[in-house]
Structure 1
Amino acid sequence: MNPIAIAQYGLIAATNRFSESAQRVSKMSIDGVDVDVVREIVDMKLAQAGVSANAAVIRTADQMQGVVLDILA
């Protein structure tokens, strides 16, 4: 199991979630399109948290690999 690869997929999913929400918000100005702004803000915040969490996983996995290499050297 590769934590960096898993976190990369998580980053992709989170950025896609944010992008989809942003697209829905951008359609607010179109007549007849009903957008729940509160829901979209929550989705964007969840996407932001997902990006932060997955970036933290990548940083931690990188640090752990560095420690293992230092031990083996």
Structure 2
Amino acid sequence: MNPIAIAQYGLIAATNRFNESAQKISNMSVEGVDIDLVREVVDMKLAEAGVSANAAVIRTADQMQGTVLDIVV
């Protein structure tokens, strides 16, 4: 199990979620499109938290690998 690869997929998923909400918000001006702005803003904030969490996993995994290399070398 590679935590960096898993976190990369998490980053992609969070970015896609953010982009989907942003796209929906940008379509609010289109007539006949019903958008729940509050829901989309909440989804964007959740996506932002997902990006932060996955970036923290990558940083931690990188630090752990560095520590292991320091011990071995």
TM-score band w.r.t. shorter chain: over 0.9
Gaps of 5+ in 2: none
CA distance in 1, matches of 2:32, 2:4: 43
The C-alpha deviation readout for 1:13-55, integer Å capped at 9, x for no partner, is 0000000000000000111111000000000000000000000
TM-score by length of 1: 0.99
**1:21 equivalent in structure 2:** 21
State the aligned residue count: 73
> Structure 1: which 5+ residue stretches go unaligned?
none
Q: Which runs of 4+ in 1 moved over 2 A?
A: none
Matches within 5 A, 1:1-73: 1-73=1-73
Distance 2:52 2:45 in 1: 11
Q: How far apart are the structure 1 equivalents of 2:69 and 2:13?
A: 31
| Distance in 2 between residues matched to 1:26 and 1:51, nearest whole Å | 21
